Structures are given as structure tokens and as C-alpha cells.
Amino acid sequence: MKIHIIGGGIIGWSTAWYLNQKGFEVTIIDKEKTSNGCSHGNSGIIVPSHFIPLAAPGVIAKGIKWMFDAKSPFYIKPRMNLELFQWLWQFYRSCTPERASKAMPALLEFNQLSKSLYHQFFDKEEFDFFLQDKGLMMFYKSSKAEKEEKELVEKAQELGLDAKILDNAQAQQLNPNVKIDVLGASYFPSDSHLDPNVFMTQIQERGLKSGIQQMSSCAIKGFQTKKGRIESLISTNGKVIPSDLIILAAGGWSAHLAKQLGIRLLLQGGKGYSITVDQHDNKPEMPVILNEAKVALTPLDNKLRIAGTLEIGGLREKINLKRMQGILESVPHYFPTLHPKMLPKEQIWHGFRPCTPDGLPYIGKHPKFNNLILATGHAMMGMSTGPATGLLVSEILQGKKTSMNIDLFDPAR
Ligand SMILES: Cc1cc2nc3c(=O)[nH]c(=O)nc-3n(C[C@H](O)[C@H](O)[C@H](O)COP(=O)(O)OP(=O)(O)OC[C@H]3O[C@@H](n4cnc5c(N)ncnc54)[C@H](O)[C@@H]3O)c2cc1C
């Protein structure tokens, strides 16, 4: 059986990895020669702490307020677009306490499964991607944010996840190499971090050696279908690629490809930026998220990565310098001795998070075609949950009981 995976990000490669391990013949197709997409320059935080879906109560009010600020962390570009309206409507409908509480245990289990799989990779001799189990802190400065973080910690504890609230002195004690000025922090000791680019390079190199095939610089633009079956893929340069089974893992571009198959997939690309600066000291010990600014700082070896913003505005590659400036300006409010400088435009990385309106991924077979599997929509946590997605897809293909219940991730929901 010839399996083709569209998309060579963390989801595509993790899926290829587990399928290859089970003896399937797999080819990864990517439109880029060397991908530098969402799975490369992200913050690299492995986040059991992120069990609350993006669409949660309170998000709408915050989003509306932020829309009028050019440097804000969240922005929806207003445009006349039916898919965007449908997405926003579903997003609005999903922001209820009932839906959020249903999603939470599933997201936590998904993240924990994936974290254990990262450890399995790390224990293999041929992998070393700086995986560190130092936890995550979320800093806050306002009493409003303190209330949010306290609620988050309570929910985490109810779900059995280790979490606590720290004051400034306690946060400082755990991060002795940089000055901290906050009201407090929530602390999630069981989060981890890694260097995403290193992991992506290693899984590709090891995967190719193990027999995974790769077609790069090959953009898929359409499909040939017959009686509920996809027969082949068609690339922009006219190549027809016959296939027995297709896995759609094209990140932020997945909705566009699904549309070519007559499938309405509600998914928007949520653009985010990062810069990575040389920083030997004067940096936190572990990843930190700045609550009010929604900015993440990750210590990576001798570097520091600073990332943020979520722009729902189509798949436009243009860099918005004001938003990057907003990210950098937020840092000294929490770390008074850290003043990261703006880098030239070409050194600002950006990626499109594949965002679903209910904050849950699409993983599973699609009823419209008997040889199509979707694996996309991981939004803010795709780096964390890539390995679990790969394992789950391999189990679906083997007809095995999946390692966790994925009913909530059904692509046809
Ligand atoms: C600033 C930022 C910080 C983040 N931080 C974290 C974090 O700390 N932890 C975490 O878990 N997640 C994080 N994320 C989210 C995470 O990066 C994404 O969820 C994840 O990378 C998505 O992976 P993917 O494989 O679905 O998509 P991608 O990595 O975007 O891969 C999709 C691939 O499909 C290819 N493709 C698209 N269309 C076609 C086509 N027509 N034909 C062929 N190929 C095609 C693209 O070239 C691309 O290589 C962050 C994201 C951003 C933007």
C-alpha cells in the first residue's frame, strides 16, 4: 500500500515515523524545498499545562478589545470571506464552559501521551534535541491575570496535573540568573521544552535513513477522485501521483486542500512570530509565558527565543513589524534587565498555526473518502502533540484500538 502524507511539518513527519516503524511504505510531500514552517521556529514548549482550548469562555471579549491595538497579541483581520465567517461563528459557539470542560481532559491526555513519546525518542541514541523537564511558568502583573492563573491552577489540580501559584520571590528563586518583576506566577513543573528545529532535522534525517520517501518542492493543487476514493494527487507542475491512501497534514493550508476534495474544513492559519537571540546568561531557567502580553520566552542552549501573537488574517507571509515590536517591548515589564533588540526583517521567523474554531485537532478518517485521513488543526500545541498524533494515525491505519479515545477529534464533527 502506497501512503502519501501532504505536509512535512511535525505532524507529517511524526506520522511518517510511526507508519514506517509499522512497516508501511510512506512518502512525505511538501511544497517547500526545505521547510521552515510552523514546526521549526516555534517556542518548543511541551505543554500538558495547555489543556484549556483556544476557544474558551472570556476569549471573545478579550479578542474584541485587542483587535483595535496594532501591537496586541491577538488580531483578526476583518475581511469578506465566507470561510472566516463560518470559522468565527463556530469559534463563538465553542466558547462555552460546557464545551471547554469536555475538551480539557482530552487535551491533557493527548499532551501527556505525546510527552511520553518525546521521552522515548530522547532515549534513543540517535536523538538529542535538548529535551529538558524544567517546567513552565506563566508570569502575571495584574490582579485580573492573577485571578485567571489561580483558576487555571485549580483546574489543573482537579485534573491531577501538578501546578502551583508562586510569588515573585519564589519565581525568582527558581530563575536565579535573571531579575524578575511580577505579581506572581503559575508554575507547571511537568511541562518540558526542546529545540524544535533540531528535533525536526533529526526526525527527517533518521526517517529518511529508515526508508521514508520524500518529495520536496512539490505543491499539491488537486486530486483525481472516483466513487468515494482518491486515486491520485496532482501537483502544481502537472505531476500525477497515484496513491492508495492520503494523509492530509498540511498545517495552516489544510482547509484549502480539503476544499479541492469538496470538504468544508473549518481551519484558519494563526500567524505568529519569533526571534532567536544569542543569550548566554541573564535569561530564565525554563520557558516563561507572559500572561498579559501572551509572549513566550524559551531558553535554548546559548540562545533565547521570544515568540508571540496570533493573527487570523489569511496565509499572508508579510511580516508585521509593529507586532514583533509589541512582543519585544513587553519583555522588560517582567524582566527589567532584559531588553531584546529588534532584528532585521529577514531574521524574524513566522509560522501559521492551524487553528480550528473549537480548539481541538482533526484526527481520523473522513467519511467522504475511504482512503483519506486528516491530521491537522493543532493550533498552539502542535509541537507538543505531534508524536501522539503520529502514533494515533498509525493505530487507526492498523485497525487497532487507539491509545486514547479520539471521538472529540473526529474531522467530521
Ligand atoms: C510563534 C509560535 C509559537 C509556537 N509555540 C509552540 C509551542 O511552544 N509548543 C507547541 O506545542 N506548539 C507551538 N506552536 C504551534 C506549532 O508550531 C504548530 O501547531 C505545529 O508546528 C503545526 O504543525 P503542522 O505539521 O500541522 O504544520 P506545519 O509545520 O506548518 O507543516 C505543514 C507543511 O505542509 C506544507 N504544505 C502546505 N500546503 C502544501 C501543499 N499544497 N502541498 C505540499 N505541501 C504543503 C507546508 O510547506 C508545511 O511544511 C507555535 C506556533 C507559533 C507560530
Domain boundaries, the chain: 2-409
Residue having the nearest C-alpha atom to atom 14 of ligand 1: 380
> How far apart, in whole angstroms, are the C-alpha atoms of residue 260 and residue 230?
11
Residues of the chain with pLDDT under 70: 61, 64-65, 67-68, 70
Ligand 1 atom at shortest distance from the alpha carbon of 287: 8
For 234, the grid coordinates are: 496532482
Beta carbons of 383 and 46 less than 8 angstroms apart: yes
Ligand 1 atom at shortest distance from the alpha carbon of 375: 26
Q: Which amino acid is at 173?
A: Q
> How far apart, in whole angstroms, are the C-alpha atoms of residue 142 and residue 156?
21
Q: Is residue 362 exposed (0-12), middle (13-18) or buried (19+ Cβ within 10 Å)?
A: buried
Given this model, what pLDDT does residue 54 score?
A: 79
How far is the centre of ligand 1, averaged over its atoms, from the C-alpha of 374 (Å)? 15
Residue 378 CA: distances (Å) to CA of 25, 160, 272, 403: 25, 23, 14, 18
> How far apart, in whole angstroms, are the C-alpha atoms of residue 296 and residue 390?
26
Tell me the pTM. Answer: 0.97
Given this model, what pLDDT does residue 314 score?
A: 87
For 323, the grid coordinates are: 507586532
Q: In a 3-state reduction of DSSP, which class is residue 136?
A: strand
Given this model, what pLDDT does residue 384 score?
A: 98
Query: Regarding beta strands 349-355 and 288-290, do their DSSP bridges make them parallel or antiparallel, or are they unpaired?
Result: unpaired
Reading across the β-sheet that carries 229-235, which strands appear in turn?
220-226, 229-235, 240-242
Given this model, what pLDDT does residue 68 score?
A: 65
Given this model, what pLDDT does residue 230 score?
A: 98
Ligand 1 atom at shortest distance from the alpha carbon of 270: 53
Given this model, what pLDDT does residue 173 score?
A: 98
Residue 367 CA: distances (Å) to CA of 8, 97, 228, 374, 410: 24, 29, 9, 11, 10
Ligand 1 atom at shortest distance from the alpha carbon of 271: 53
Query: Regarding beta strands 192-193 and 164-167, do their DSSP bridges make them parallel or antiparallel, or are they unpaired?
Result: unpaired
- The sign of the dihedral angle between the CA atoms of 95, 98, 101, 107 is negative
**Cβ < 6 A, ligand 1 pocket:** 6-12, 29-32, 35, 37-39, 42-45, 47, 219-220, 249-253, 257, 272, 274, 307, 351, 353-354, 376, 378-384
Given this model, what pLDDT does residue 75 score?
A: 81
Residue having the nearest C-alpha atom to atom 1 of ligand 1: 272
How far is the centre of ligand 1, averaged over its atoms, from the C-alpha of 168 (Å)? 34
Beta carbons of 309 and 243 less than 8 angstroms apart: no
> How far apart, in whole angstroms, are the C-alpha atoms of residue 293 and residue 57?
19
Residue having the nearest C-alpha atom to atom 21 of ligand 1: 39
Q: What are phi and psi of 50, to 5 degrees?
A: -90, 60
* Span 2-409 CATH architecture: 3-Layer(bba) Sandwich (3.50)
> How far apart, in whole angstroms, are the C-alpha atoms of residue 261 and residue 350?
28
